[in-house]
Amino acid sequence: MAKKAAAKKPAKKTTAAKASSKGDDFRAKTPDELNTQLTGMKKEQFNLRFQRANGQVDNTGRIRTLRRDIARIETVLTEQRRAAQAKG
């Protein structure tokens, strides 16, 4: 029997310029703006938690993305605090 050559998948092309990420968007904001946005997200997360408990949540994926965005903002705030401490 003749063996067929395994079809190779083409390698992913990498671009020199990286697309803007959410973390980069958050880094461009001031700590006050980030704290305001963080407060709003935590309120939304609280409301979604109760909706999930009652079986009323429409978009379950929003809970996950919200949790990750909160973590991103907290990470950026920590980075900014440490950078400020290192300077001063």
Architecture of domain 22-87: Orthogonal Bundle (1.10)
Q: Which positions ≥6 away from 55 have C-beta within 8 Å?
A: none
pLDDT value at 18 more than 90: no
The pTM of the full predicted model, rounded to 2 decimals, is 0.75
Tens of pLDDT, residue by residue over 24-65, are 999 999 999 999 999 999 999 999 999 999 999 999 999 999
> What pLDDT is attached to residue 11?
59
Structure tokens at 80: 């900014």
Phi, psi of 14 (to 5 degrees): -100, 140
The single-letter DSSP state of residue 55 is T
How buried is residue 30: exposed, middle or buried, by Cβ count under 10 Å (0-12/13-18/19+)?
exposed
- 64-83 mean pLDDT: 96
pLDDT score, position 66: 97
Whether residue 69 contacts residue 22, with contact meaning beta carbons closer than 8 Å, is answered with yes
Confidence at residue 20, expressed as pLDDT on a 0 to 100 scale: 72
